Chain A
Amino acid sequence: MSITCQLSNLTSKKANQSTGGVRKPLFFLILCGLTTSVVIVLLIFSPLSKKEETSSCNGEARVLFRHKNVSTSEIHALVSFFSDSDQVTSFECRKESTSGLRSNYCITCSLNMEKQSCHERQCFIPDGGVPWNLNPSGLEHSISPEACVSDNLEQSILQPKEHENHGEEPENHGEELDWDLSTYLRNTWWWLILGVLVCHKIFAFHSKAPTERKEKGSLQEPLAQKQQRGQAPSKGAGRWRKNILLLGVMAGVSVSIWWFWDTNEKIISIRRETLANMCDERARVLQDQFNVSLNHVHALSILVSTFHHGKTPSAIDQKTFGEYTERTNFERPLTSGVAYALKVTHSDREKFEKEHGWTIKKMETEDQTLVQDCVPENFDPAPIQDEYAPVIFAQETVSHIISLDMMSGEEDRENILRARASGKGVLTSPFKLLKSNHLGVVLTFAVYDTSLPPNATEEQRVEATIGYLGASYDMPSLVEKLLQQLASKQTIAVDVYDTTNASGLIKMYGSEIGDISEQHISSLDFGDPSRSHEMHCRFKHKLPIPWTAITPSALVLIITFLVGYIFNEALIRIATVEEDCQKMMELKARAEAADVAKSQFLATVSHEIRTPMNGVLGMLKMLMDTDLDAKQMDYAQTAHGSGKDLISLINEVLDQAKIESGRLELENVPFDMRFVLDDVSSLLSGKANEKDIELAVYVSSQVPDVVVGDPSRFRQIITNLVGNSIKFTQDKGHIFISVHLADEVREPHNIEDAVLKKRLALGCSESGETVSGFPAVNAWGSWRNFKTFYSTENHNSDKIKLLVTVEDTGVGIPLDAQGRIFTPFMQADSSTSRTYGGTGIGLSISKRLVELMQGEMGFVSEPGIGSTFSFTVVFGKAETNLPVTKFERFDLAIQEFKGLRALVIDSRNIRAEVTSYHLQRLGISADIVSSLSMACTCVSKLRNLAMILIDKDAWNKKDFAVLDELLNSSKESTTRPPKILLLATSATPVERSEMKSSGLIDEVVIKPLRMSVLICCLQETLVNGKKRQPNRKRRNLGHLLRDKRILVVDDNLVNRRVAEGALKKYGATVACVESGKAALAMLKPPHNFDACFMDLQMPEMDGFEATRRVRDLEREINKKIASGEASADMFSKVSSWHVPILAMTADVIQATNEECMKCGMDGYVSKPFEEETLYTAVAKFFEFG
C-alpha cells in the first residue's frame, strides 16, 4: 500500500518536472531571441552613428572649404575694385601677405589635429587588438578626427578626391566593426555552449557516480546503509555545485557591471573630447574671422592714409568711402560698419567746421538708449577740448555717426588714445552700440602719416597720427552668423566673454541653456594684447542614456541570470532525481522482496491447500461410491466437480508461483509426442463434441517418434491452449493442432509436408482451406515474429526444435487486449471471465513453460475469425535404439494393419491429410480423393483396398450407392470387399446403430481421430471379432492364474459361486469356504494355496480378523523355521510363509483399504469382480510366478 502511494507520488512529481522541462526550452528560445535582437540593434546603430560622423566631417570640410573660398573671393573683389583704379602692384603685395598668413594658420591647425588624432589612434589600436574591450562608439568617433586630418592636410588637393576618401574610409571601418562584432558574439556563444557542456559533463559524472557505487553494493546490504552511502556524496556534490553556481553568477554580474562602467567612461571622455574639439574649432573660426576683419580694417586704415592724406586733393570722399566699404563689407564678416574720424586739434576746429560745413558734435552717452531717434542734428555740439576726432567718412550702415566726435565717448576716447600710442588695432570693452542696441566692441586703428618709421616711439606715433579708423562689431549677431555656418550647432551652446577685467566677466554673447556641468573654455585672441576674451562651450542637451553601454552589459547580465537559473533548475532537478532514485531503489528492493515473498507464499499456501483438498476429493469420491439417492448424488457430484476445479486452479497457481520463484524443474524423459497429443485430444474430445467443434491433430512425418523432454508439461501447454480454444469457440468450426519441425517452416519454398504446404500456400487469405471450412487466421503471422525461429545456431545434432500450432475458429481476441494476453490473471476482457469462466492464468503459465523449454510463444488473432497460437519448443533427440514407449497392445495391432491400403474420401484436403496421417501411424497407406463420385472413377484402379474412409461431409447416399455397387461388382475379383468407415464429428449411439443397421457402412468413427480409437474400430471391423481383444486380455489373466490354487472365503453363497466361476474361468483351481474360521483352518501352514480372496463382512469372524490370525500363524511358523525348531521340510520346503490375501469388498474406501493393509492383507479387489481390477490386483503376486 505504502509502496504504491509513494510510487504514485513519484510519478506525479515526474509529471511536474516534465512540465518544467517544457518551460526550459521556452527560456532558451527567449534567450536566443534576445541575443539576435541585440545583434540586430547593434548592427543598425553602428551605420547610423557612422553617417552622423561623416556628415559632421563633411560639414567641417565645407566650413574649411568656405574659408578658402572666402579668401579667394576677397582677392577677386579687390582685383575687380582695383582694376578700375589701375593700382595692381600694391594689391599683389597684399595678396602675398594674406595668403602667407593663411597657410601659416592652416599648418598650425593641422598639426594640432594630428596630435589629437594620434591620441585617438593610441586608444584605437589596442581596441582593435582586443575585441573584448572593443567599444563601438569609441571606434566610430575615431573616424572623424582622422577624416578631418586628411581634410586639413590635403586642403590644396581637389575637392572630389577628398570626397572619395570620405566615401571609402567609413566603409572600411564599418566592415571592420561588423567583423569584430560578429566574432565577438560568436566567441561568446561558443564559450557559453562550452560552459554548458562542461557543466553537464560534471553533473552527469556526479549523478552517475553514486548510482554506480550503489550498484556495486550487494542486495543483501541493509537499505539504510545503502542510503547513507548514496546520499552523502551527492549532498556534498550538491553543495559545491551550488557554490560554484553562485560564484559564476557573481562573476557574471561583476563582468556586466565592469563592462557598463568601462563603456560609460569611454563615452563620457569621448564626449568631453568632442566638446573640446568643437569649442576650439569654434573659437578658432571666430578668432580667424575676427582676425580677417581686423586685417582688413588695418588695410582700410592704410588705404585711407594713402589715398586721403597722401594725395592732394584727396582721392577719397564720403561717397567713395561709403561705396568701397559697402562693396568690401563681406571681407569683414564681423563688423557692422566702419568709419573714419580725423584728428582735429582745438585750434583747427573752426577751420574744420567751416570746411565741412557742420559742427563737431558730442556723443551723448546718456542718450544711447534712444537709438531709434539718433539723428546727428539732435546731438549737441561737442564741448571744447584739446582734440577732437570727428567722423568724416562712414559706411552706409553707420552714416549717422558722421560729425560725431569720437573723443567725446568714454570708451572711444580711451580706445583712440591707446590705438594712437600702440599703432595697432585696439578693442573697446563690450558696450551697447548706438542704434542697434546690441552689445558690441569697437576696433580702432590709428592712421599715421606715411613717413612714420617702423620703430617709432609712442610720441612720434601720437605726433604722426592724422586720423582714426573705427569698426564696430555687433557681437551677438555676428557670432550667431558665424556659428550658423558650423555644423552641429544645435548640440553645442556657446558663450563669449571679455575677461580683461578678471573680477568681472562681461558676457558678449550667449544664452543660459545647456548642460552647465560640463563645459570647455577656449581663449580667443582678437589681436589686441591688452584685452583678453574667452569662449565657453557646453552641450545643449544632457548626456543621453548610454544605450551602447547598457545593452551589452544588460545582455551579459540577462544571460548570466538565465544560465544561472537554468543551472539552478538543473541542480534542483538533479537533487530531486537523486532523491527519487534513492526512493525508487528502496521501493524496488522492497517490491522485489515482496514479490519473492508473494511467490513463496503462493507456493506454500497452494501446496498446503492441495493436501486437504485431496482428502476432500477422495472422501467425496467415496461418498459418491456409496449408495446415494439422485439428489444426494447430484450434490456430491457438484461438490466433487467444484473440488476438482479448485484443485486444478490451485495447481495452476502453484505452477505460476513455482515458475516465478524459479523452482520449477523440467523432466527429461523420452516420450512419444503423438501419444501425448492423442491423450489431449481424447481428453478434450468430449467437450469439443459437445460444442460440435471438429478437433484435429496432425504431426509432421519429419518429427521423430520419440523425443526427450517433459511430457507432462508439454501436455499441459497443449491442453491449456486447446482448452482455451474450445472455451472460446462457439458451436462451429474446428481446432487444429499441428506439429512441425521448425526447420520445415523456415524455408517456405522447399516444404515437403503436404499439410504445411497447403496452409502456407494460402498466403494470408482467410477464406482458404481449413480443416472445417470455416476461415481461420493464418498461423504464419505468429511464427514470423519468433526471434529464435530463424537462428541457425541451434543446429545441434542432439536438439530438435518443434513448432506447434493450435488454430481455432473462435471469437478471437480483441485488438486492444492482445498486448496483455500473457499477463497472469488477465483475460482479454473482464467480461470474458463472466462469459467463459476461467482464471486467465493458463496462457501465462503456458508461455512461461514454453520459455523454460527454450521456446517462444506467439499468436495472431482476428476478432470474429479466430486465433492461432504457436509456440516453439526444443527437445532432445532420443537415442535411436531406445525401447519404444508405445503400448504393447498397439504394437500387435500395428503389425496386423501394416501394408494395408485405404482410400480417404474427403472434400477438404487438409482434413484428408490429417486422416491419412493417422492411418500412416498404423502402417496403412492412404490415397485421397475429394468426393464420392471421384472415388467411383479411381476405385477400380486401386487393388487390395482394405478400407474406405468417408468423411461425413462428403457422405451422400446417392453417390455412395453407385460406389457400393461398383465395389460389390468387383467382389469376385478381390477376396473381400473393402470395409466402409464413416468419419463423423459427433454421432449419437442411435445414429451410429442406424447407420450400421442400414448395412451400407461397417463402422462409424467418431473424430477426433486418435490411435487407440482407430485401432479399436479397425479391429472390430476388419478382424470382425469384437471379443477378440478382451479374449486376448483374458488369456493373459488366465496365463497368470492358470493352475493357481485359490481359496475364496465368503459367507454369501451367490458371491462365492460367482467368484469361483470367475476365477475358474481364468484357469484357477478354486476352493471355497463360507466362514473365517474355516478359512483359518484351510490356511494353516502347510497348505498349498497360492492366494486367498476374502470377504470382509462375515458373521462370527470377519475378514480382518481371519487375516490377522492367518498372519499370526504364519509368523509363528516362520519364526520356528528360522530358529530351527521346525524344519522347512515340514512345511513343504517353504522357508517363509506368506500367502497373498486379497480383500473382496463392495465399497472401495480408502479407510477400508488402509485397514486391510494394517491387518496384513496384500490388496483388495472390488466385488463383483471386474476383469481389470482383478488382473491388476493379482498381477502383483503372480507376475514372476
Chain B
Amino acid sequence: MELVQMQKNLQDYTKSLFLEGILDSQFLQLQQLQDESNPDFVSQVVSLFFQDSDRILNDLSLSLDQQVVDFKKVDPHVHQLKGSSSSIGAQRVKNACVVFRSFCEQQNVEGCHRCLQQVKQEYYLVKNRLETLFKLEQQIVASGGMIPAMELGF
C-alpha cells in the first residue's frame, strides 16, 4: 500500500516537474534509454551534469568577476551549459542559457551577471528537484517496487 502511495507520489512529483517547466520531454527520452542493461543511466547522466555544471558555473563566476570580461571565454562555457542542460531536459536552465548567450554576444556585462544569477538559480532548482526525484526513486527501489514509467503526451 505504501509502495503504491510512493509510486503515486513519484508520478505526481514528476508530473509537477513537467508542469512547472523545469523538465521537458528530453528527460523522458533519457528515462527511456534506461533499461535492464543500464539501470542507473539517468542518475549517472544527471550526476555527470551536476559535476559539469558546477564546474562551468564556477568558471563563469570567475570569468565575469574579472575586471575585463573576456566574452570569448564566457560564451563557450555558456554553450556547454546550454548543451548539457538541453541534453538532460533541464528546460529552464537551457532557456536561461539562451538569454545568457545573447548577452554575451552583445558583450553586456551587467546582463551577463544577471543571467548568471538566473542560470544559477535555475540550476539549483533543477538540481534540488532532481535529487529529490532520485531519492524518491531510490526509496521505491529499496522497498522492492518498480519505478512507474512516465506518461508521454504532455
Question: A residues within 8 Å of B by Cβ?
Answer: 627, 989, 1027, 1050-1055, 1057-1058, 1061-1062, 1064-1065, 1095, 1097, 1099, 1146, 1167-1171
Contacts and interface: CB of A to CB of B under 8 A. Distances in A.
Given A627-B95, A1064-B38, A1055 B84 contact: yes
Contacts of B89: 1168
A1170 B29 contact: yes
Interface-centre pick from A1051, A1054, A1167, A1168 (highest chain B CB count, 10 A): A1054
A1053 B50 CA distance: 11
Given A627-B95, A1167-B87, 14 more contacts: A627-B99, A627-B101, A989-B153, A1052-B84, A1053-B48, A1054-B48, A1055-B87, A1057-B45, A1058-B30, A1061-B30, A1097-B79, A1146-B82, A1146-B83, A1167-B86
Nearest to A1169: B29
A1027 B51 CA distance: 33
> Is the contact region of chain B dominated by helix, strand, or loop, or is it mixed?
helix
Contact of B83 (A989, A1054, A1064): A1054
Contacts of B51: 1053
B49 interface: yes
Contacts of B74: none
Contacts of A989: 153
Given A627-B99, A1057-B48, A1146 B86 contact: yes
Given A1027-B149, A1099-B76, A1057 B44 contact: yes
B22 interface: no
Interface of B: 26, 29-30, 33-35, 37-38, 41, 44-45, 48-49, 51-52, 76, 79-80, 82-84, 86-89, 95, 98-99, 101-102, 149, 153
A1169 B87 CA distance: 8
B52 A1053 contact: yes
Given A1027-B149, A1065-B33, A1169-B29, A1055 B41 contact: no
Interface-centre pick from B34, B87, B95, B101 (highest chain A CB count, 10 A): B87
B101 to A, nearest CB: 8
Given A1057-B45, A1058-B87, A1167-B86, A1065 B52 contact: no
A1058 B149 CA distance: 19
Nearest to A989: B153
Closest 10 CB pairs of A and B: A627-B98, A1054-B84, A1058-B87, A1054-B49, A1052-B83, A1061-B33, A1055-B87, A1168-B26, A1065-B33, A1057-B45
A1095 B52 CA distance: 17
A1051 B83 CA distance: 10
Contacts of A1052: 52, 80, 83-84, 87
A1095 B83 CA distance: 10
A1027 to B, nearest CB: 7
B73 to A, nearest CB: 10
B80 A1168 contact: no
Given A1053-B52, A1061-B45, A1099-B76, A1168 B98 contact: no
B125 to A, nearest CB: 18
Contacts of A1058: 30, 33, 45, 87-88
Contacts, number: 68
A1167 B83 contact: yes
A745 B18 CA distance: 55
Nearest to A626: B98
Interface-centre pick from A1061, A1065, A1097 (highest chain B CB count, 10 A): A1061
A989 B151 CA distance: 13
Nearest to B88: A1054
A1095 B26 CA distance: 18
A989 B45 CA distance: 32
A509 B92 CA distance: 153
Contacts of A1051: 80
Interface-centre pick from A1058, A1065, A1099 (highest chain B CB count, 10 A): A1058
A1053 B83 CA distance: 10
A929 B80 CA distance: 62
Nearest to A1095: B83
A1065 B39 CA distance: 12
Contacts of A1057: 44-45, 48
Interface-centre pick from B33, B48, B83 (highest chain A CB count, 10 A): B83
Contacts of A1054: 45, 48-49, 52, 83-84, 87-88
Contacts of A1171: 29
Contact of A1065 (B35, B95, B99, B101): B35
A1051 B77 CA distance: 11
Contacts of B84: 1052-1055
Nearest to B42: A1061
B86 A1168 contact: yes
Contacts of B29: 1062, 1168-1171
B41 A1061 contact: yes
Contacts of A1095: 83
26 contacts: A627-B98, A1027-B149, A1050-B83, A1052-B83, A1052-B84, A1052-B87, A1053-B48, A1053-B51, A1053-B84, A1054-B83, A1055-B87, A1057-B48, A1058-B33, A1061-B30, A1061-B33, A1061-B38, A1062-B33, A1064-B37, A1065-B35, A1097-B76, A1099-B76, A1146-B82, A1167-B83, A1169-B29, A1170-B29, A1171-B29
Contacts of A1097: 76, 79
A1050 B80 CA distance: 10
Interface-centre pick from B34, B86, B102 (highest chain A CB count, 10 A): B86
A1019 to B, nearest CB: 15
Nearest to A1066: B33
A240 B124 CA distance: 109
A989 B52 CA distance: 38
B152 to A, nearest CB: 8
Nearest to B85: A1054
A1097 B89 CA distance: 19
A1166 B73 CA distance: 25
B9 to A, nearest CB: 17
A687 B35 CA distance: 40
A1055 B94 CA distance: 13
A315 B30 CA distance: 189
A1065 B29 CA distance: 11
A1051 B153 CA distance: 32
A1027 B35 CA distance: 13
A1061 B89 CA distance: 15
Contacts of B99: 627
Nearest to B82: A1146
A1065 B98 CA distance: 30
Contacts of B41: 1061
A627 B99 CA distance: 8
A1097 B102 CA distance: 16
Given A1054-B52, A1057-B48, A1168 B87 contact: yes
Nearest to B79: A1097
Contacts of A1169: 29
Nearest to A1065: B33
A515 to B, nearest CB: 129
Nearest to A1170: B29
